[in-house]
Amino acid sequence: MATKTTKKAETKAEPEAAAKPAPKAAAKETAKDEGKDAGKGKKVAAPKSGDKPNALQKPLQPTPELGAIVGDKPIPRGEVVSKVWDYIRKNSLQNPENKREILADDKLKKVFGKDKATMFEMNKYLAQHLK
């Protein structure tokens, strides 16, 4: 048997139905606001202490040749690249005519194996000196 609905029951159902979209709209606005803030330099939370470090965060032991530039303690690959760039800038080892080219001094020659290297080749040579 079908139950009959009265107009009173229908009118009661309508306000509830109208009230439900409001929280969704508020959630959409909140999501939009979060999206706006996400690209404005907000720092991403550091990984939890139990998380496994990714390849850039894993400390690696530099060889003695690379250790002369970045230090002899194990450090992450990203910091190695940053310290090598600091060393390059400090000693003015970029070619002034072609900034992509690095002119190796005695310490960098041991790491690169040649007198000149491009900034794109640099990571390949650094990887050979990290274990």
3-state secondary structure of 52: coil
> How many Cβ atoms sit within 10 Å of the Cβ of residue 75?
19
pLDDT at 59: 94
pTM for the complete prediction? 0.60
- Specify the CATH number for the domain of residue 118: 1.10.245.10
Contacts of 77 (CB under 8 A, 6+ apart): 55, 56, 58, 60, 126, 130
Does residue 80 form part of some domain? yes
Name, of 12-16, 22-26, 43-47, 100-104, the range with top average pLDDT. 100-104
Does residue 1 form part of some domain? no
Does residue 13 form part of some domain? no
Question: How many separate domains does the chain show?
Answer: 1
Boundaries of domain holding 123: 59-128
Does residue 51 form part of some domain? no
Distance CA 121, CA 127 (A): 10
Is residue 40 over pLDDT 70? Answer: no
pLDDT tens digits, 66-103: 999 999 999 999 999 999 999 999 999 999 999 999 99
